[in-house]
């Protein structure tokens, strides 16, 4: 007996393939969970046995990748939770809800920037991969480790680990064994946690080296929060793969990142700071408080660091600490707009960062409309390469496909 995988043919679409070249009218054939073929308008593909989805000129593009996801941060669009701590049962369910909501908004992949539950994301990722729960492809993280209590990491969720070198190594090995894709450390603190926090280093060079060594031995990725210049350098020196914020990166830090640009990813996370600086007044964070929390100066610094690293060829990716009441999960596509507005990206460059570069971050054949790649696709009303804000309106997402299946189905025609 032979099984033929389901075939879906998109016709009359304008393809943005994620590579950064201009959109082109064409057809795309999906077979099973992969893109089988991509054709320009002058050619047409064999549609035998395929269901046809007529795009009527809509844009077909890769699904979005959220590079700095916090699915355990409770607040989402339409569901404000005024706390980071929740009872564990509600917290896990809220995390699963957030995963579905993120996919509903066109993000077919999420790279975690830290969890508030030790095995929440590992368990959730496994359920999603097994097809039992809706959600984006997920690179699951451990809890973000730093000073205990920071980020509201609830004591009962926290993995006890000794702070000596052996304890750190044991922790990394244990989380790798538990199935984490990435282990997150706060190499520096943050103005949002305490005044002057951004310059406080939370791990010594020796500790970071032990963590890096163990991660290589255990075959697990490292991610970190790094604000101070020295925290960024510590991350680069010790093999951290994904570095967040880099707010105070100095010339030496920028040079070090550039030298490792094929190994590292950088997700600055402008979304939270922008929301804090401009949109959080009704949540009790007025202009004065936003300044005290470093949101205004942080954004100004980011506006220097991000364009510079982009120019030097470092992979800078959107994703902005969504999950706070004033920066809820579901608004994530707003980060693309911030890349354009604050960092001088063209809309197409912001889209490449959220798709093709996101695929590299996920380390999967993702983020491009390309034969052989996994079929994570969005059918978008309008042209996001001229206006990325289109992606913030769910009604413009006519179809969301993940792994060859419609999470949101378009009207089918024959
Ligand atoms: Zn974060």
CA-based nearest residue to 198, from 264, 245, 233: 245
Task: Provide mean pLDDT across the span 85-104.
Answer: 96
Q: Are 113 and 223 in contact (CB under 8 A)?
A: yes
Place of tokens 């039992």: 132
pLDDT attached to residue 160: 46
pLDDT in tens, 348-386: 999 999 999 999 999 999 999 999 999 999 999 999 999
Q: How many angstroms separate the alpha carbon of residue 129 from the centre of ligand 1?
A: 24
Q: How many angstroms separate the alpha carbon of residue 68 from the centre of ligand 1?
A: 6
Q: How many angstroms separate the alpha carbon of residue 333 from the centre of ligand 1?
A: 16
CB atoms within 10 A of CB 89: 8
Q: How many angstroms separate the alpha carbon of residue 114 from the centre of ligand 1?
A: 7
Task: Provide mean pLDDT across the span 216-220.
Answer: 98
List beta partners, residue 37: 29
CB atoms within 10 A of CB 182: 25
Lowest mean pLDDT among 71-80, 88-97, 155-164, 316-325: 155-164
pLDDT band of 4, cuts 50, 70, 90: low
Give the H/E segment covering residue 408: strand 405-408
Q: How far is it, in rounded angstroms, from Cα 114 to Cα 150?
A: 12
Q: How many angstroms separate the alpha carbon of residue 251 from the centre of ligand 1?
A: 24
Q: How many angstroms separate the alpha carbon of residue 226 from the centre of ligand 1?
A: 10
Q: How many angstroms separate the alpha carbon of residue 235 from the centre of ligand 1?
A: 16
pTM assigned to the model? 0.95
Q: How many angstroms separate the alpha carbon of residue 153 from the centre of ligand 1?
A: 13
Helices 270-278 and 334-343 cross at an angle (nearest 10°) of: 80
């Amino acid at each position: 007996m032979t099984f033929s995988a389901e075939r879906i043919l998109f016709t009359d679409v304008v393809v943005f393939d994620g590579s950064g070249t201009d959109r082109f009218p064409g057809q795309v054939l999906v077979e099973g969970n992969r893109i089988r073929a991509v054709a320009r308008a002058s050619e047409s593909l064999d549609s035998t046995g395929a269901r046809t989805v007529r795009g009527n000129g809509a844009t077909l593009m890769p699904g979005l990748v959220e590079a700095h996801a916090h699915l355990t941060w409770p607040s989402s669009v339409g569901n404000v939770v005024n706390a980071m701590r929740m009872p564990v049962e509600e917290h896990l369910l809220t995390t699963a809800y957030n995963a579905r909501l993120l996919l509903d908004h066109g993000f077919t992949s999420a790279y975690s920037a830290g969890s508030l539950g030790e095995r929440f994301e590992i368990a959730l990722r496994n359920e999603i991969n097994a097809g039992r729960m809706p959600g984006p492809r997920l690179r699951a993280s451990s809890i973000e480790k730093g000073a205990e209590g920071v980020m509201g990491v609830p004591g009962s969720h926290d993995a006890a680990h000794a702070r000596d070198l052996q304890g750190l190594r044991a922790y990394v090995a244990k989380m790798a064994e538990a199935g984490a894709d990435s282990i997150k450390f706060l190499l520096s603190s943050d103005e949002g946690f305490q005044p002057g926090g951004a310059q406080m280093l939370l791990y010594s060079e020796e500790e970071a080296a032990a963590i890096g060594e163990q991660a290589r031995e255990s075959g697990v990725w490292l991610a970190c929060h790094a604000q101070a210049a020295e925290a960024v350098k510590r991350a680069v020196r010790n093999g951290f793969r994904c570095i967040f914020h880099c707010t105070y990166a100095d010339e030496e830090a920028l040079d070090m990142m550039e030298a490792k640009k094929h190994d590292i990813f950088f997700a600055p996370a402008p979304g939270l700071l922008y929301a804090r600086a401009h949109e959080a007044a009704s949540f009790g964070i007025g202009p004065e408080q936003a300044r005290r929390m470093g949101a205004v100066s942080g954004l100004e610094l980011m506006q220097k660091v991000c364009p510079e690293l982009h120019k030097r060829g470092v992979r800078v990716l959107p994703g902005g600490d969504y999950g706070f009441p004033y920066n809820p999960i579901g608004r994530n596509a707003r980060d693309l707009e911030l890349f354009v507005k604050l960092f001088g990206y063209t809309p197409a460059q912001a889209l490449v960062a959220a798709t093709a570069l996101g695929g590299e971050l996920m380390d999967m054949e993702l983020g491009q409309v390309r034969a052989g790649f996994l079929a994570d696709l969005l059918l978008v009303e309008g042209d996001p390469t001229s206006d990325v804000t289109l992606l913030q309106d769910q009604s413009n997402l006519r179809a969301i496909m993940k792994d060859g299946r419609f999470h949101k189905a378009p009207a089918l025609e024959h």
